[in-house]
A and B are shown apart, each in its own frame.
Chain A
C-alpha cells in the first residue's frame, strides 16, 4: 500500500493532541479530525465561553494538565490542520468520508492514527431507559460542558475510579449526591495490593475523593447489586439494590451508571484491523505491537481506543505511536520511544490492580438481568428476547443474534448494549465470553440524513 497523502489523526483528546505535537515537531503537518467543538477529548471537555467556569472548577487535580494540553494545542495550531465538529462516517479505499455540520467531504490519507477514546461500559437494569438515567460519562459531560446536574437528587451506581471522581465533582459543585453504590469492595483490598503503591499520586487522589464524599455526608456503599431503577411515567423516582441479604431503596430523580470504560473501535473495525479478546479488560481490542502499530500497514492507534489505560498513559501512547509512524517513514527516535515504553509499562501493574482487583467488572450482573429489561435501547430488545433467540436458534454469535432479533441493529450500532449483550449471550449459550465475538461496524458509523447524502446539504 502506498503512503502518499496526508497524515490524519482521528481524535483530539490527550492521545491525539500528543501525537499531533510529536508529528508537528518533526516537521509534518497532520490533519486532526475531532467530533467535539473544542480540543481536549471527553476528559477535558469545556463549556462554551459564556459559562465562565475556571479550569480548577472544571478539572480539579487535572487542571494543570488541562492547561498544559490546551497550551500545547494552541502552540501547534499553526503547524497542523484541525477540523472540529467533524466525524468520520465511513472509510474505504484509503479515503475518509467526513461530515461537518451536515456538509460532506472525502479526503485521501497516507497514514492514519486512531485516537478515538472510550465510552462508558453499561450493564442495563430495569428502568435504565427512563428520563433521569444516564451514563456516568454523561453525568460528567452535563457538569463539565454544560454546567448542569443530571438531577436534583443523584445516585451514582456501578464501579470504577470514575464513579467516585464524578460523584465528588458533583458534590463539590453543590449537587445533592444521595449515594455512591459500588458493586466492588475496593476498600477491603487496598492494603493487600502492593501494585497500587506503584502510582501513589493516583491512589491518593482516589482516597481523597472518597474521603471528601464521606465528609460531605454522602452515603458510600460497596458490594451492592442493583435490582431496578424505580420510575414513574415522567422518569426516575428511585433505585432498589441489594447489599448482602438486605434489599434497600433510595429516593432520587437521577441515576448515573458506569462500570468502567470500553474502547471505541468502530473505525479500527472499518479499517480492517485485527482484534484480540483481552481477558483483563474483558473486551475486544485492536492488536498492536505495543508501540502504536496495528495489524494494517500505515494505521496506528493510541489511547483508550486501543486499550483503556487512562488519559496520562494516552498522552504517552500518542507520542509513542507518532514516533513509530515517523520511524516507519525512516525517521527514528528510538531512545525517546524506549523511555515512553518504560513509562507506560511502569503503570501497567496499577491499571491491572484497578481492573482485576479493586473494581472488577461484575459481569454476573448481566447474567441476572430480568427478562423484561430492555438491553438494546435503539430497538427496544429485551433480555428475554435475546435469551429466547439464543435458545431457539442455537446461536451464540452476536452478529447472528443481531440478524434474528434486531439487537444492536439500531442507530447506535450496539455501542451502548453490545458489552452486556455478549455477557448475556455467552451465559445463555453456556460458552466462553469470547465466543459471541463483536458486532461488525458499518458505514455510516453514525446517522447522516439522506438529504445530506444526496448532496442537498441543509
Chain B
C-alpha cells in the first residue's frame, strides 16, 4: 500500500472502483489513489495475480485498467477526477 505524506493537505473526493468508494485527492494519479486505498490496480490477464504497476513513468504498461464505460486508462499517467468510475477487470469481460 502507498502511504501519503502526512503534511500534504489537498482537497479530498471519492472515486468508485469496482463499485466501491476509494478516497482520492486533487492532483493524484489513479495509481496513487488506488494503491493508497485498495492496494492494487488490476488483475493480470493470464493468471490469477494482482498487479499494481511497476515503473510509474508510462513505460511498463502494467497499470492499465478500465473506465466502467469500457475505455482503457493508464493509471500512472491519468489524474483522478471527482466521480470517476473505474474497474480493475475488463467491464463485460470474463476476468
Minimum CB distance partner of B10 in chain A: A50
Answer whether residue A234 sits at the interface, using C-beta atoms and an 8 A cutoff.
yes
Q: Select one of A131, A146, A173, A174 contacting B51, CB under 8 A.
A: A131
Q: Is the CB of B27 within 8 A of A47?
A: yes
Which of B5, B11, B25, B29 has its CB near the most chain A CB atoms (within 10 A)?
B5
CB distance from B84 to the nearest CB of A (A): 14
Q: Is the CB of B62 within 8 A of A151?
A: no
CB distance from A306 to the nearest CB of B (A): 18
Which B residues from 19 to 61 make CB contacts under 8 A with A?
25-29, 32, 35-36, 39-41, 44, 46-47, 49-61
Report the interface size class on chain B: 35 or more
Given contacts A53-B8, A151-B2, A447-B61, contact A138 B54 (CB under 8 A): yes
Q: Is the CB of B10 within 8 A of A141?
A: no
CB-CB under 8 A from B55, the residues of chain A are 119-120, 134-135, 137-138, 416
Answer whether residue B72 sits at the interface, using C-beta atoms and an 8 A cutoff.
yes
CB-CB under 8 A from A235, the residues of chain B are 1, 39-40, 50, 52
CB-CB under 8 A from A143, the residues of chain B are 5
Q: Select one of A49, A234, A458 contacting B71, CB under 8 A.
A: A458
Q: Is the CB of B4 within 8 A of A233?
A: no
A-B interface contact total, Cβ < 8 Å: 137
Q: Select one of B40, B53, B58, B62 contacting A446, CB under 8 A.
A: B58
Answer whether residue A379 sits at the interface, using C-beta atoms and an 8 A cutoff.
yes
Q: Is the CB of B60 within 8 A of A377?
A: yes
CB-CB under 8 A from A173, the residues of chain B are 5
Answer whether residue A129 sits at the interface, using C-beta atoms and an 8 A cutoff.
yes
CB-CB under 8 A from A110, the residues of chain B are none
Residues 30-46 of chain A, each 1 if its beta carbon lies under 8 Å from chain B, else 0: 00000100000010000
Minimum CB distance partner of B49 in chain A: A129
The CA of A173 and the CA of B3, in the complex, are separated in Å by 12
The CA of A137 and the CA of B53, in the complex, are separated in Å by 12
Given contacts A138-B53, A234-B39, A412-B61, contact A379 B46 (CB under 8 A): yes
- Starting from the known contacts A377-B51, A377-B60, 11 additional A-B residue pairs (CB-CB under 8 Å) come to A50-B10, A51-B27, A119-B59, A129-B49, A129-B54, A130-B50, A138-B55, A142-B2, A235-B52, A377-B54, A449-B72
Top 3 nearest A-B pairs by Cβ distance? A48-B27, A131-B52, A411-B61
Instruction: Give 28 pairs: A residue, B residue, CB < 8 Å, sorted on A.
Output: A47-B27, A50-B11, A51-B27, A87-B58, A119-B57, A130-B52, A131-B40, A132-B1, A134-B56, A137-B56, A137-B57, A138-B53, A142-B2, A146-B32, A147-B5, A148-B3, A148-B4, A149-B3, A152-B3, A235-B1, A377-B54, A380-B46, A411-B61, A412-B60, A416-B59, A446-B61, A447-B74, A449-B71
